[in-house]
Structure 1
């Protein structure tokens, strides 16, 4: 009895001491445009906080509480929000789902002049995360920062840690790039090509090393589009963490990090000053580009500096990118076993196609995500027992209601020739299948891409399921291949599942999982901040996806994707139409110039010019 009382007192003391040690970190951020020149080549405005850019990195300890008052300081009608990438925000830790941040999923967008409070505890997560805007493609213009949760019980030793953001840079503002991308004049859906790469928001960066020290380098790909390779000259990297999960040490010379992913590595410095500095190569995955402009620099050189008086290193080049560490084969440090069955399987067939307005859209099973009229979380919290009925969430968001504690298997088959880094909010998942890339041969028409896609075959998987699958929150889906992931529905909430290549998200490549909605209702109500922000945006604080609360199955007025194109009228037809139109306009111009000219035109020259234009575009005549 005495020992039991003693044990209880020890537990109480430990709990109390942990509460005392926990800190509250409060930030007041006001968004706004800041004059900058990130790459030193092209001045542009970036999105900063309180008149400063880059925005600050946030460092906390496990168990700390974070309060961020985000005020929309944009002077136009730009709305915004913040997402804390990789945070679970468990209700059991006293958190609220409305802190997750994606606009019209777990909150209303913040209108100019309005303030939203993000208030949550980082109870049991550690490692490398980041925070970023989740409205449009704003984080591409700099509204992003690292979010590091330090762990006093880290299972490895180092002397110093460094956080490194890898990103891509567009010289035009994100809204102009987005408008040009989502246009009928871009019928193939070719992603915008960035003008540069950034390493910690700059070019020609330097990491200062001291002999005999060990460094933890936390890499975060916070870009909008391209995956990136990283290699260090004459220094090995030992991977010890991915997406906030410790992994068994894996030594490599080459990292591959997709947008949204994080990877931490240990690097041992030389035992003495080596008499030189060493190159860090940051390399764009050019296979993701539809076209490679001649002036695009795809390899950027930075340096590890042992002495500033040493000369800057020369770049080196990678001959074989296949030797980059493959995420599928990483293994959790704690030997977390495979979830050996599933209760519910959700299959997404991914495709990109043109719809009736001529714009190229991204789709799951033919449905392109379109924001509802009220946030999905609002519908959960105001619908009572109907919250378990997927119909009230609309047919425009790929909504799935998940039951408490069931094992969910998600299959994504890629009927597209591009890579897609998929991110799941609110969970880590086990990656149990990942196909290689399947690319068309040179003589195989790319428009027949569907014919080479290899979907997941449950009766004959490509590889045996790993006993201890890698755990992470963002994974790369290979061209024309597939992925299979599993997780346990043990975190009630409204969780977005989407491509983190942000141009694809703007095309509609997303789904929403409504997990144990009745448990959400029991634990959470809409805060005053939430309601005020919605009211300021003229968004109802109750109702189904279409904003109706008198009839929860009435979806009249629900925003939906455009209707399909007429049969057979696809991207190739649009291209032919545009070329034909240009030729017709040129023909009219030539005839007018011929007829109105005060001089006698050279008939043969006019004929030859028209013939050359038609020949160069493959137009028969």
Structure 2
């Protein structure tokens, strides 16, 4: 009977949203998360996380001004969970934001929590678990907020909502376990098995002739950015990340995980439409350490006018990503014409790099700290701290990487990326102006404001933006939303590696109220609800016992171990190289692609060996240094031979 009741309440809430009444409506949902089996890519069946036994999860549609009351019941027997509404500010109710260890404790198996908030924004958003990398198990869905006044500014006939995502066959816990191990010293991210479109593949969507569609698109994946195009058609971008824009024409767009956009698409008349339409989404292959031979980089889906007319041929350019020129989101202009924020009151400069620690695992760092969740959620530390210490960043812990912001100050965050991968950075609680973003570089280039010629008069605003490999990113926002907000890489494997900081914003303006079920959730998880990051509520400056990052690599010891590892690896690669040489007379394009992959892997090995050599020299350890030098020469020689193929 309880499941029937849950479905009745959900149906009633959804019906209220569909009615689209101008008056504010309260939508109450009861969702029990539990495992079910699904096979969305048609290749592999796996356990996914459902709502009330149904997957994919529903698209939730509400109107600006409505209230949402979502009761999340954890029916997972082996895992905690939580819920985050990506892009929502949660003004005045920051405890509803959802990231475990930041604003709440994890919801234990059998537990529940009410997410209760008023919807004060509009546009395209999504919701997902914010407990580890759990949302890669399917715990994510679209959250659409309608605004009649805003939507009336654009001319369209119908609306559609689409999701794009990567898909893994292994459960999230196993993926993270495989990545965060000393046997993966480069920190290479797991490669997805497929791309999904609306949580399926080869999707067919019926469309009408001579019709303008407002289409909302969100990348709800966990790792890869995607290129988006509708070959033979031009579209107009009118919104990104909940920020409405001046209409901008494009043929190719780029969405990192976490990013969204709305487009206007005008279909052809019956006389002009000689074929149906394809939608092409493509993995950004530059984000993959290797490209398996059987990996399909492109996902093809269909818009169908009439099944009796043919499907178009796939254009050849979709396999040539070097020729891709997606629209630059920095060229977009917010329709609000919000002017460039003034020089910052508070500048935070973050140096991003990846490095192995003493356990052999590759971690991500911002200013030499890798994020480690505290014993007490940071918001609860802020609410329980004495007034004299509430603005002291030390009480929030060493590895929460916390920065305290004053109310209404203009904040600038500069990220100098010394990693060769791009990182999609997401800020909770705010939309920010993108002030500057460099291209990617072979070697790290840091931001120099003296060399910046000019800034946009009306910079585009987003809540998720990428920084290029070895490049830099500069964003600004006003600290007008008291709360504790996470700023992290939304490539979730990197978040698992610790790529995050915590912004404690205007803590002296926080409302001391916390709902009882939040406190009960902590109690069920055996987590304290007051005290500093170490759980000390008597002496907030005593952080003894706090959770911290592993110790650094021991000098002299680790290089020997890594030399042994690379010796084995080089031997294996030499064998691969020999096989390639043996078969060169009859090599195929696919085999050439394999060689390109091995070249990229080899470059990674050279990079790590050079870093180990530097560490060994710094530690004045002659024996490991000599071994590394010898190994480095061997690998470089092998790389030279590969380069000749």
Q: TM-score interval w.r.t. the shorter chain?
A: 0.7 to 0.9
- TM-superposed CA distance for 1:174, in Å, is 0.8
- TM-superposed CA distance for 1:117, in Å, is 0.5
- 1:514 partnered with 2:512: no
CA separation of 1:20/1:193 partners in 2, compared to 1, >3 Å: closer, same or farther? closer
Distance 1:543 1:20 in 2: 44
3-state SS of the aligned residue for 2:451?
coil
**What are the Cα deviations for residues 529-584 of structure 1, in whole angstroms up to 9, with x where unaligned?**
011000000001111100000111110110000011124777x8654322447899
| Contact residue 128 and residue 244 of structure 1 kept, 8 A | yes
**What are the Cα deviations for residues 35-62 of structure 1, in whole angstroms up to 9, with x where unaligned?**
0001011111111111111111110000
- Give the structure 1 partner of residue 31 of structure 2: 29
3-state SS of the aligned residue for 1:294?
coil
155-164 vs 419-428, greater mean Cα deviation: 155-164
CA separation of 1:551/1:215 partners in 2, compared to 1, >3 Å: closer, same or farther? same
| Contact residue 417 and residue 471 of structure 2 kept, 8 A | yes
- Give the structure 1 partner of residue 286 of structure 2: 287
- TM-superposed CA distance for 1:327, in Å, is 1.1
CA separation of 1:19/1:324 partners in 2, compared to 1, >3 Å: closer, same or farther? closer
**What are the Cα deviations for residues 119-149 of structure 1, in whole angstroms up to 9, with x where unaligned?**
00012x1100000000111111110010000
- Give the structure 2 partner of residue 3 of structure 1: none
1:506-585 aligned at under 5 Å gives the runs 506-520=496-510, 523-567=511-555, 575-580=562-567
CA separation of 1:163/1:405 partners in 2, compared to 1, >3 Å: closer, same or farther? same
- 1:132 partnered with 2:120: no
- TM-superposed CA distance for 1:308, in Å, is 2.4
Distance 1:337 1:568 in 2: 54
- TM-superposed CA distance for 1:501, in Å, is 0.5
| Contact residue 179 and residue 189 of structure 2 kept, 8 A | yes
CA separation of 1:237/1:578 partners in 2, compared to 1, >3 Å: closer, same or farther? same
Listed as ranges, the gaps of 5+ residues in structure 1 are 1-17, 441-451, 585-613
Distance 2:438 2:369 in 1: 24
- Give the structure 2 partner of residue 475 of structure 1: 465
3-state SS of the aligned residue for 1:282?
strand
| Contact residue 231 and residue 281 of structure 1 kept, 8 A | yes
1:25-424 aligned at under 5 Å gives the runs 25-76=27-78, 78-91=79-92, 96-123=93-120, 125-153=121-149, 154=151, 155-272=153-270, 274-316=273-315, 317-318=317-318, 319=320, 321-385=323-387, 386-424=389-427
- TM-superposed CA distance for 1:102, in Å, is 0.1
| Contact residue 570 and residue 635 of structure 2 kept, 8 A | no
- Say which structure is richer in helix: 2
| Contact residue 342 and residue 410 of structure 2 kept, 8 A | no
Distance 2:200 2:562 in 1: 38
3-state SS of the aligned residue for 1:89?
coil
Distance 1:129 1:512 in 2: 22
CA separation of 1:286/1:581 partners in 2, compared to 1, >3 Å: closer, same or farther? closer
Distance 2:361 2:286 in 1: 23
- TM-superposed CA distance for 1:321, in Å, is 4.5
**What are the Cα deviations for residues 348-402 of structure 1, in whole angstroms up to 9, with x where unaligned?**
0000000000000000011000000010011011113021111100111110110
- Give the structure 2 partner of residue 453 of structure 1: 444
3-state SS of the aligned residue for 2:513?
coil
Distance 1:581 1:294 in 2: 23
Distance 1:583 1:544 in 2: 48
Distance 2:523 2:40 in 1: 37
| Contact residue 406 and residue 488 of structure 1 kept, 8 A | yes
3-state SS of the aligned residue for 1:111?
coil
Listed as ranges, the gaps of 5+ residues in structure 2 are 1-19, 572-630, 638-645
- Give the structure 2 partner of residue 597 of structure 1: none
**What are the Cα deviations for residues 246-290 of structure 1, in whole angstroms up to 9, with x where unaligned?**
011110110100000001110001022624212111111001011
**What are the Cα deviations for residues 492-526 of structure 1, in whole angstroms up to 9, with x where unaligned?**
11000000010000000000101111111xx2412
CA separation of 1:434/1:618 partners in 2, compared to 1, >3 Å: closer, same or farther? closer
CA separation of 1:373/1:161 partners in 2, compared to 1, >3 Å: closer, same or farther? same
| Contact residue 281 and residue 315 of structure 1 kept, 8 A | no
Distance 2:289 2:192 in 1: 12
| Contact residue 187 and residue 574 of structure 1 kept, 8 A | no
**What are the Cα deviations for residues 176-217 of structure 1, in whole angstroms up to 9, with x where unaligned?**
011000010000000110000000000001232101110111
3-state SS of the aligned residue for 1:280?
strand
- TM-superposed CA distance for 1:329, in Å, is 1.3
**What are the Cα deviations for residues 452-476 of structure 1, in whole angstroms up to 9, with x where unaligned?**
1110012212x41111100110001
Distance 1:364 1:217 in 2: 36
| Contact residue 229 and residue 282 of structure 1 kept, 8 A | yes
Distance 1:525 1:278 in 2: 53
309-318 vs 165-174, greater mean Cα deviation: 309-318
Distance 2:157 2:22 in 1: 27
| Contact residue 303 and residue 313 of structure 1 kept, 8 A | no
- TM-superposed CA distance for 1:315, in Å, is 2.2
| Contact residue 350 and residue 415 of structure 1 kept, 8 A | yes
**What are the Cα deviations for residues 426-478 of structure 1, in whole angstroms up to 9, with x where unaligned?**
0000001100111x3xxxxxxxxxxx1110012212x4111110011000100
- Give the structure 2 partner of residue 601 of structure 1: none
Distance 1:582 1:470 in 2: 46
CA separation of 1:129/1:582 partners in 2, compared to 1, >3 Å: closer, same or farther? closer
- TM-superposed CA distance for 1:311, in Å, is 3.5
- For this pair of structures, how many residues does the alignment match? 553
| Contact residue 166 and residue 197 of structure 1 kept, 8 A | yes
Rg larger for: 1
- Give the structure 2 partner of residue 491 of structure 1: 481
3-state SS of the aligned residue for 1:239?
strand
- Give the structure 2 partner of residue 15 of structure 1: none
Distance 1:567 1:421 in 2: 33
Distance 2:362 2:374 in 1: 20
